[in-house]
Structure 1
């Protein structure tokens, strides 16, 4: 992915050269020459991924180029760091990298000159070998162009399924026939055929939900352990046991299931030794019509696990019509699946034919075409590349891998870097979107665009991969916002191969630029690894890292580390000692300490992290205060201190962080806390787009601070909680704390008043699209909530949760919210005539035209 590396470096270099720093000016000529040479090569490098698979000579050339770019990037980073030190400690002629002054500068300049000479030689070799002329190559724009960001938000509804209705019906009928013992059903077929989708459709079916009293979904990776399987089953049953042995875990499962009708799905099972399953199966209660569904690529697997031949289902390839329908639904999602360009239809159908009826291949190719311009020559180019990839072998599996490879080749450079990040996560891992986006920002994978907030651009990158169907949605919020995802195991195979080839991530951990933070991490992969750029916690859900002392002591050895995420970790050595060492990582841009215990306070050494852009200390329940020096982190864009139960307030001066875009868990200081940050300081955070705030006392809002939020023009999301509040005066204050008019989403939690805030109305919030109200004492809405004859809400998604006193009629809500399409209402018994699902339960999620849990 040398084109991605070059794009990232060029963008960093452009920004650095524009800073006019004193140290950089000493090497400006060399950096500008480097910039010029790389710009000339950029157009050729766009297609280099495809070419190097067939040209071994080119592979060697690109490896050399990649290493030179990384070295130049490290030199640039050191120069920028020295420039910052120059500003802080003006001591004249300072060195860039080496400890001595003039000799150090001489060495830096000499090395930059050598890098330039080698890159010039590489350019000449490419020109000679491929007959390419670089003299008149057009200059490429930095980052992404308009076409690569054609859809910057999710367009395709990933819940739509095509052509599997018969498969679903067949498996459901078998389940309804179960009586004695445990019925075992197998779903068998090649990767990408839709086995998991069929099982998921059955598992989430409303009839199946009503038929079974307990349901468990277990993703069985190729490297699973019996203990992991048991813990996953227990988590499905609401038990997060961590300390029991296998026998005790199985006994607990038995107690939860005894006398119940249950369904277990074992998804994607491999292997030949099934003693683990025999032990689990033996410990399960029998009868009551309980069932197990097993999906696998191997028929012998489901047979050995108990599926009889007449209860093994083989999904078929999609028919030609269903294949075209699935492709249209994705490729033309913006026009609701309708192809409005007749000249593209024949090309599209030939592309679909190459996919051989494999749903995964069709989805990925459809997602790729969704993000391409609707022009004949562009579509024809894609088809020609597809033909070329399949020239030697045109079978189904080859077609699947060709479609995945083609989709990767056609990614914009910045999305290639983002996509390869998935290589670090273990198989079947549920991945946080937030962690991905923060990582991408920390490593500068997210392209900068004029006027665009970086956190918003990072979420656009996530949408770019989602729309291309390269990642799969796992969990969404009530309004459809994705917050966790995963990737198909066939996609993961491709990601791992490319990451290995490009030294992005190596599974053996040697000389990797990116590593996953797990309990098995070996300290030798950190010591002496000056290539390492990112080290991140990649544990599965509900698991924690247990980090050995030797590994913890080596965490800060890689001096060019940009990204460090040690969340959900338990250390054998002192956490304060580790944090002291982190202060030496002056290139660090993203630090995640979420869920680390016992984090009580920050050491002084962290004050050195002047390049920090993202700091996450969420779920640190023992953290009592944030350090005062945090207000000196001028580059900080994200500060997350949510769910820190012991945190009293934020430090005074927070309003100086003018680049802050996301502030979560903010607690304003009371009048008795002079060193704390008052809510009025938020007025200065002009770039703030996401804010969550907890207000518990009236004196946290001064009379001159009630307009603290109203002028935050970039604010799109506001969460306001009054948990553990005290005093009726608070209601009066909050009632005056009006949010800005352009707010898109509001979450109101634990509001203490019986009547909703006066500003919660369609005139004060004219573009509000998503509203969530949970817990608290609200019994009725203020009269202004219902608008007037000329004003209605633009709300599309609504959630009411745990509002025991709120009484409102559905028909009245419909009248003032004509755009409403999603309703989630639960634990609110006084709501009248709200939509009820087929099984008779009030609440859950309702969508226009359908019922969905």
Structure 2
């Protein structure tokens, strides 16, 4: 009996067992032994409950978390109005973070040690029992603390709040619109503004003065200053023809003169990497000498403009060159040389224009018209509260687009807007706060992720979507892929006008975005209050990697869940050895993105211990230097869902254990020039949804193209083919049954031998393909399968570079079977000959045509007024 108790004590309470062993029973009096054993038995009876009831506590904690997270989504207004509630919620938030970490450990342990299995030997193993005891006890404590918090909150609010299970499925629904539904370049009521600026620009050339004309656009935040400048700079073809060079520079509140000049050089096509700072202005002068140029200095804040005087003195003068300065401070514009006669002060939108702008966004699904008579009055009431500020109107319009078209719902929003304005008379900030409050919880987390990025940073959609997937922010529905769900979240923020589109592809797919400085001001404040991200504390859960980050604070923060590269375009991170070695010590890290980084030590030293990050779901090493190979410890990352190795030009091989990462959904090895093939057995990764940069092996030692047959969940596939022997005759149907595949890109860059063309001719894609891109196609004739019968659902087709001169006869269809293509891009095809009338006949749904560097397409209506910058939009 004694031995049994000691053994059980060793399993359940190591601390008690060590005390027991230190006592020597042979020299102890019987009375002392009896007392000790009684205490031990009582302790075992009490603490054993945490082991035997572990599953029950685990499930109870999950339920409590669901209820409290449901409450938190409605608590944002409450905590802003009550300091006590704010403090209570801060404690609750920390408990939820801790509970989530415990649950993550439990899930990990359950896989590694069959924690919840019925196997007797597993259940009584010392590590498992110790784990159950330790975490079960803490779970029980957390449940008690959460219960107490619930009682405190209900007491503070007079019992007004109920924590009910059915509330979980209340407002927390997917947005009404999960894709872009309106044109984000749309402006209303700015025709007179842009005409005035254009007239001034053209007058500068006619006056022939030997100076740079300075134009100021001055006004409060949210008035549309940047929009006016963008309208003139980007859209007007006359401006494009008038100026030889154009440069857009976003001047943040924290900038350096060197950053400004490097930004100007990037606009001129010069990356300026490695250039001495003292030589930058001289290079800019050389680029602009003898040219007429336009510079936009957007959003200038500080009144110390000595930096501009130095730069402007070094620029060539005359030729009608101009600079447009947008600023909230009129004194800034005057100090930068703007005369009173060249200051434009945008006005607030009048009621008609305000309502028109609101309608175009809120009622985008009905072509910008309010078709609900009962909503018009309350809609106009909401718009009136925006006081003619375009940013406020767009924010509430985007919010209402995602709301049900019911009067009581719109009435509720109008009342909340009134309350916000009572506390904050800034209609822009009130509308933005209201937009945030009305976000579903999963979109709030996605929105807060933008707090990490510096001012005026251009952010790639792929990075934030991968981050959201990796950290579990996206809301998954039955049968919905995680990548689709991530895209939906991104569209949800775009449609609410909380982030702005920067770059899109020819077919409208968004590539990059940015955030208005007033929206960024809000998101930073909320992220700080919620300990999501903040730069001056060590308890935040997310941090950005930049060259000026506080590395001591970073490495001292054990709670990090996400560490993301947030450098601006054209910049790289330089990561010190001491920092790099610490990265593998963040136990609960789910997201690690060190893209665009240069490491002082070989990156393999960093990755050697990466296997210890058991919770990691997203790893990006994109464009890192110097990455040559991945470590064997990668196989320990059993939770990994996204692995981004794109643009790692020195990467030579991938480890064979990559094929054991069966949760992997995204694998990106695009633009890895030294990578010959992927490991054999890749077809086992049956959960892959996105595979980019796939290079088939030419022998049986790597992954052959035939393995694609097993990747039945693939939605996006990027192939790189260079040799005919990469595709055997029995592999030409490898893609035919990939029924979920929507987007296929085939690149034959640096291809060898004419036999590849005949193999490509047989490599049939699946019929349901939605988008196809052919790059560097080696044949003179298009592949036989490129026709409307083989690809009946194709909506977008892009063909760029290569030898294509003509299309197969099947391309034109027959028996009234024509293409459903809506968007077509033809680029850098010097030999291609097509007749425009025939193309129109075969593609009757065509709306977008992007043609560039195709000299033989003489029948295309290049001079038609419908073409703008090579893009023609029909309809």
Q: Deviations over 1:640-670 (max 9, x none)?
A: 0000001101100001001000000000111
| Residue aligned with 2:166, SS | coil
| Residue aligned with 1:718, SS | strand
Work out whether residues 629 and 651 of structure 2, in 8 Å CA contact, stay in contact via their aligned partners in 1: yes
| Residue aligned with 2:855, SS | coil
Instruction: Between 782-791 and 111-120, report the one with greater CA deviation.
Output: 782-791
**2:830 equivalent to 1:804:** yes
The Cα of 1:46 is off from its aligned counterpart by 3.2
Q: What is the distance in 2 between the residues matched to 1:526 and 1:301?
A: 36
**2:696 equivalent to 1:638:** no
Find the counterpart in structure 2 of residue 241 from structure 1: 272
Aligned residue among 606, 609, 613 for 1:581: 609
Find the counterpart in structure 1 of residue 353 from structure 2: 322
Find the counterpart in structure 2 of residue 704 from structure 1: 730
Work out whether residues 250 and 297 of structure 2, in 8 Å CA contact, stay in contact via their aligned partners in 1: yes
Find the counterpart in structure 2 of residue 613 from structure 1: 641
- List aligned pairs for 1:376-775, cutoff 5 A: 376-392=407-423, 394=425, 398-670=426-698, 673-775=699-801
Find the counterpart in structure 1 of residue 296 from structure 2: 265
Q: What is the distance in 2 between the residues matched to 1:94 and 1:294?
A: 70
Q: What is the distance in 2 between the residues matched to 1:840 and 1:39?
A: 54
| Residue aligned with 1:419, SS | helix
**2:354 equivalent to 1:354:** no
The Cα of 1:832 is off from its aligned counterpart by 2.6
The Cα of 1:613 is off from its aligned counterpart by 0.4
Find the counterpart in structure 1 of residue 229 from structure 2: 199
Q: What is the distance in 2 between the residues matched to 1:624 and 1:142?
A: 49
Q: What is the distance in 2 between the residues matched to 1:653 and 1:248?
A: 52
By percentage of residues, which structure has more helix? 2
Q: Deviations over 1:569-618 (max 9, x none)?
A: 01112211011122211111000000011211111122211110000000
**2:64 equivalent to 1:33:** no
Find the counterpart in structure 2 of residue 368 from structure 1: 399
- Count of residue correspondences: 820
Q: Deviations over 1:151-173 (max 9, x none)?
A: 11100110111011100000110
| Residue aligned with 1:553, SS | helix
Work out whether residues 493 and 499 of structure 2, in 8 Å CA contact, stay in contact via their aligned partners in 1: yes
| Residue aligned with 2:762, SS | coil
Instruction: Between 813-822 and 119-128, report the one with greater CA deviation.
Output: 119-128
The Cα of 1:692 is off from its aligned counterpart by 0.2
Q: What is the distance in 1 between the residues matched to 2:777 and 2:665?
A: 29
**2:224 equivalent to 1:224:** no
Work out whether residues 529 and 557 of structure 1, in 8 Å CA contact, stay in contact via their aligned partners in 2: no
Q: What is the distance in 1 between the residues matched to 2:274 and 2:549?
A: 22
Work out whether residues 835 and 846 of structure 1, in 8 Å CA contact, stay in contact via their aligned partners in 2: no
> Is the alpha carbon distance of 1:119 and 1:392 closer, same or farther for their aligned partners in structure 2, counting shifts above 3 Å?
closer
| Residue aligned with 2:133, SS | helix
Q: What is the distance in 2 between the residues matched to 1:187 and 1:765?
A: 50
Work out whether residues 40 and 139 of structure 1, in 8 Å CA contact, stay in contact via their aligned partners in 2: no
The Cα of 1:103 is off from its aligned counterpart by 3.5
Work out whether residues 430 and 485 of structure 1, in 8 Å CA contact, stay in contact via their aligned partners in 2: yes
Aligned residue among 161, 167, 184 for 2:214: 184
Work out whether residues 51 and 132 of structure 2, in 8 Å CA contact, stay in contact via their aligned partners in 1: no
| Residue aligned with 1:484, SS | strand
> Is the alpha carbon distance of 1:160 and 1:101 closer, same or farther for their aligned partners in structure 2, counting shifts above 3 Å?
closer
Work out whether residues 40 and 134 of structure 1, in 8 Å CA contact, stay in contact via their aligned partners in 2: no
Find the counterpart in structure 2 of residue 84 from structure 1: 111
The Cα of 1:634 is off from its aligned counterpart by 0.5
Q: What is the distance in 2 between the residues matched to 1:820 and 1:24?
A: 66
> Is the alpha carbon distance of 1:50 and 1:789 closer, same or farther for their aligned partners in structure 2, counting shifts above 3 Å?
same
Q: Deviations over 1:391-425 (max 9, x none)?
A: 2554xxx1111000000000000000000000000
| Residue aligned with 2:512, SS | strand
> Is the alpha carbon distance of 1:132 and 1:816 closer, same or farther for their aligned partners in structure 2, counting shifts above 3 Å?
farther
Q: What is the distance in 2 between the residues matched to 1:137 and 1:723?
A: 59
Q: Deviations over 1:344-364 (max 9, x none)?
A: 000000000000000000001
| Residue aligned with 2:802, SS | coil
Instruction: Between 721-730 and 624-633, report the one with greater CA deviation.
Output: 721-730
Work out whether residues 696 and 703 of structure 2, in 8 Å CA contact, stay in contact via their aligned partners in 1: yes
Work out whether residues 679 and 700 of structure 1, in 8 Å CA contact, stay in contact via their aligned partners in 2: yes
| Residue aligned with 1:556, SS | helix
Q: What is the distance in 2 between the residues matched to 1:121 and 1:515?
A: 31
Aligned residue among 186, 191, 194 for 1:168: 194
The Cα of 1:144 is off from its aligned counterpart by 8.1
> Is the alpha carbon distance of 1:558 and 1:668 closer, same or farther for their aligned partners in structure 2, counting shifts above 3 Å?
same
Q: What is the distance in 1 between the residues matched to 2:416 and 2:398?
A: 16
**2:855 equivalent to 1:829:** yes
Q: What is the RMSD of the two structures over their aligned residues, measured on CA atoms?
A: 2.1
Work out whether residues 110 and 116 of structure 2, in 8 Å CA contact, stay in contact via their aligned partners in 1: no
Larger radius of gyration: 2
The Cα of 1:536 is off from its aligned counterpart by 0.6
> Is the alpha carbon distance of 1:253 and 1:133 closer, same or farther for their aligned partners in structure 2, counting shifts above 3 Å?
closer
The Cα of 1:839 is off from its aligned counterpart by 8.9
> Is the alpha carbon distance of 1:92 and 1:837 closer, same or farther for their aligned partners in structure 2, counting shifts above 3 Å?
farther
Q: Deviations over 1:490-527 (max 9, x none)?
A: 00000000000000011325322100011123332233
| Residue aligned with 1:53, SS | helix
Instruction: Between 614-623 and 787-796, report the one with greater CA deviation.
Output: 787-796
Aligned residue among 66, 72, 76 for 2:93: 66
The Cα of 1:149 is off from its aligned counterpart by 2.3
Q: Deviations over 1:239-298 (max 9, x none)?
A: 111222333100000000011110000000011221111110100000000000000000
Q: What is the distance in 2 between the residues matched to 1:112 and 1:393?
A: 41
Q: What is the distance in 2 between the residues matched to 1:277 and 1:57?
A: 48
Work out whether residues 796 and 820 of structure 1, in 8 Å CA contact, stay in contact via their aligned partners in 2: yes
Work out whether residues 521 and 551 of structure 1, in 8 Å CA contact, stay in contact via their aligned partners in 2: no
Q: Deviations over 1:806-835 (max 9, x none)?
A: 100111111111111111111111113213
Work out whether residues 526 and 554 of structure 1, in 8 Å CA contact, stay in contact via their aligned partners in 2: no
Find the counterpart in structure 2 of residue 301 from structure 1: 332
Find the counterpart in structure 1 of residue 75 from structure 2: 48
| Structure 2: 5+ residue stretches without partners | 1-49
**2:186 equivalent to 1:156:** no
The Cα of 1:95 is off from its aligned counterpart by 9.3
Work out whether residues 115 and 128 of structure 2, in 8 Å CA contact, stay in contact via their aligned partners in 1: no
**2:153 equivalent to 1:123:** no
Q: What is the distance in 2 between the residues matched to 1:746 and 1:337?
A: 32
The Cα of 1:687 is off from its aligned counterpart by 0.7
Q: What is the distance in 2 between the residues matched to 1:309 and 1:246?
A: 34
Find the counterpart in structure 2 of residue 105 from structure 1: 132
The Cα of 1:122 is off from its aligned counterpart by 1.1
The Cα of 1:700 is off from its aligned counterpart by 1.0
Work out whether residues 215 and 342 of structure 2, in 8 Å CA contact, stay in contact via their aligned partners in 1: yes
Q: What is the distance in 1 between the residues matched to 2:674 and 2:705?
A: 19
Work out whether residues 71 and 163 of structure 2, in 8 Å CA contact, stay in contact via their aligned partners in 1: no
Instruction: Between 137-146 and 507-516, report the one with greater CA deviation.
Output: 137-146
